[in-house]
Amino acid sequence: MSDYTKKLGRLRKAPEDFLSSEQVAQVQAGRRDFLRKTFLTATATMAAGGAANAYADDRKDWDGEKGSKLILDKPEWGTTLGRGVDEPPYGMPIKYEKNLVRRISPGLAAVTQANVAFAPLQGMFGIITPSGLHFNRSHQGWYEINPEEFRLMVMGEKGLIKNPKVYSVGDIMRMQPVSRIHFIECGANSAMEWGNVAVPTVQYTHGMVSCSEFTGVPLIDLLEDCGADLKGVRFIMAEGADGSHENRTIPMSLVLSGEVLVAYGQNGEMLRAENGYPLRLVVPGVEGVSQIKYLRRIKLGRAPFATKDEVLGYVDMMPDGIQRQYTSVMECKSVITSPSGGQVLMDQGVYNVTGIAWSGRGKIKRVDVSFDGGISWKPARVEGPVQNKALTRFNIPWVWNGKSAFLQSRAVDETGMVQPTYQELRKIRGTRSVYHNNAIQTWQVEETGDIRNVQLANS
C-alpha cells in the first residue's frame, strides 16, 4: 500500500461522500435494519438495492403505539403550514443532501486556493452538472471580478486583423448568442491511475469532468466583427486575466467550425465566479486548460504560440522519451459512477448500474458494460437525446449474487473510436504519462459488498 492509499484507508471503507458515519455505524450493526430505518438520500441510493418492499418491512416493525409505519403515520409536515415561498431568495440543496459537495483530494498538494476541487460524480444524475458542483481547476485561485471593470481584447499579428477591438461584457451580450451542452475535462483527469495509485472514489478518479449548458457568442462572430483575415489566421492564442494568466494555442479550424464560444452563461444563469465569470472560452471536446476563464485576450497568429502552459504542462512523455505537445482533444471515455469505489452494496439483488460517457470527437454511439472484468460485455441503455461533445448517461440493471465482481464500462464514439484498456493505452503511451488517460476503469465489488478501485492484469 502506498502512503497515499494508507492515508485514505478510512475513506476506502467508509467514504463520507456516500454514507454518513452514523449510517456506516448502522450498517455495521446490522445491514437489513439499516435499510428499513434510514431515510435514503440520493447519495445513499445504492444502499437500497432490491428494497422494493418497504411496506412489508414497515409492517413488521409496527408495534401499534410507537411504530413508524411511514405510509400511514401523519407527520407534522403533512398537517401544518409550510415555509414561506420567498425564503431563501436563491434556493440551496436540502440539508439531507449536504454530503454531495466538491472535494479537494487529500493526495494532492495542499495549496487549496490554487489546485482542484473534484465534482461528486457518484451522486449525480443525468448529464448536467449543477453549477455549484462543477469541478474547479484554478492555477492561481479564483476571483470575483466586477463585470463593469472587465474587458476582452481581440488583436493579432501584423496583417491578420483590420480593426482590433476591446469589448465590454455588455458589448458581447448584445450579440446573437447560442446555447450548447458541452463537457469540460481537465487533461489531468484520472492522472493518478497511470501509476495505479488507486484513489478510492470516482470523485477523485474522474471528478475533473463536468458538463453544462453554456451560452455565449461564437468566437468566429467576434473575429468577423474585427475584420480578421479568416484564411490567413492559422492559430489563435487565448489568455486569462487571473494571476496565472493561463494561455493556450487553439487551431483556427476549431474556431471556423463555429463551435468555439466566448461564453457568459452556464446552466441558465451567468457563469459562476469559480468557472470564469464574466467571460470564458468554451472549446468543445478539447482539454480543460484551453477553456480559458476570465478571458481577457484573443491573439490571432500564423503558428502555434508555444506558451508557458503548453510547453511544460499537459504534455505527454512517450516511450521514446520525447514529450508530445498539443494533445488537445479529449478521447472517448466512460466510467461507472454508481456503484463505484467507496460505496457499499447492502444486499444481494438488483442494482441499477449507471455512469457517464463522453468523447471530444463527437457523440457517443454505444456503451458496453462488463461485470466480470472485461471477459463478457452487455450493451447499456444510452439515454438520449445524445449531445455532441457532452456527457452521455448510460444505465443497465445488474443482479449482484454476493460474489466478487469486476465492473467496467467501455464507450464507443461516432467516429468508431473504442475506449482502450490500460494494457492497450500503455503499449502506445508507455508508463510515464500523467495526462490524457481515457482507459477503462475497473471497480471491484468484494464479497462484503465493499467496492474498491482496482486495475486488472488483463485489462
Ligand X SMILES: Nc1nc2c(c(=O)[nH]1)N[C@H]1C(S)=C(S)[C@@H](COP(=O)(O)O)O[C@H]1N2
| Residues that bind ligand X in the complex, under the rule CB under 6 A | 134-139, 184, 186, 210, 240, 242, 244, 246, 275-276, 288-289, 291-294
Smallest gap, in angstroms, from Cβ of residue 287 to ligand X? 7
Of 213 and 347, nearer to ligand X (C-beta) is 213
What distance in Å separates the CA atoms of residue 283 and residue 226, rounded to the nearest whole number? 20
Of 194 and 294, nearer to ligand X (C-beta) is 294
Of 183 and 351, nearer to ligand X (C-beta) is 183
Smallest gap, in angstroms, from Cβ of residue 329 to ligand X? 14
Smallest gap, in angstroms, from Cβ of residue 263 to ligand X? 10
What distance in Å separates the CA atoms of residue 242 and residue 145, rounded to the nearest whole number? 10
Smallest gap, in angstroms, from Cβ of residue 191 to ligand X? 12
- Nine-digit cell string for 399: 443482479
Of 139 and 234, nearer to ligand X (C-beta) is 139
Smallest gap, in angstroms, from Cβ of residue 238 to ligand X? 9
Smallest gap, in angstroms, from Cβ of residue 145 to ligand X? 11
- Residues 245-284 touching Mo ion, rule: CB under 5 A, are none
Smallest gap, in angstroms, from Cβ of residue 295 to ligand X? 7
Smallest gap, in angstroms, from Cβ of residue 384 to ligand X? 25
How far from 28 is each of 15, 24, 268, 338, CA to CA, in Å?
Answer: 14, 6, 43, 21
Of 288 and 373, nearer to Mo ion (C-beta) is 288
Per CB under 5 A, the segment of 166-174, 184-192, 193-201, 341-349 that binds Mo ion is: 184-192
Of 297 and 393, nearer to ligand X (C-beta) is 297
Smallest gap, in angstroms, from Cβ of residue 83 to Mo ion? 41
List 177, 240, 278, 288, residue binding Mo ion (CB under 5 A)? 288
What distance in Å separates the CA atoms of residue 287 and residue 329, rounded to the nearest whole number? 6
Map residues 110-139 to x or -, x wherever contact with Mo ion holds by CB under 5 A.
---------------------------x--
Of 276 and 449, nearer to ligand X (C-beta) is 276
What distance in Å separates the CA atoms of residue 124 and residue 118, rounded to the nearest whole number? 13
Of 137 and 393, nearer to Mo ion (C-beta) is 137
Describe the strand order of the beta sheet including 442-445 as a list of residue ranges. 378-379, 364-370, 405-413, 442-445, 451-454
Residue, CB closest to Mo ion: 186
Residue 289 binds Mo ion, judged by CB under 5 A: yes
CB neighbours of 200 closer than 8 A, spacing ≥ 6? 5, 8, 11, 12, 15, 341, 342, 452, 453
Of 116 and 405, nearer to Mo ion (C-beta) is 116
Of 45 and 105, nearer to ligand X (C-beta) is 105
Count of residues that interact with Mo ion, criterion CB under 5 A: 4
List 133, 186, 222, 241, residue binding Mo ion (CB under 5 A)? 186
Residue 135 contact, options Mo ion, ligand X, none, Cβ 5-8 Å cut-off depending on partner type? ligand X
What distance in Å separates the CA atoms of residue 33 and residue 38, rounded to the nearest whole number? 8
- Residues 137-156 touching Mo ion, rule: CB under 5 A, are 137
Smallest gap, in angstroms, from Cβ of residue 282 to ligand X? 10
Residue 240 contact, options ligand X, Mo ion, none, Cβ 5-8 Å cut-off depending on partner type? ligand X
Q: Applying CB under 5 A, which residues contact Mo ion?
A: 137, 186, 288-289
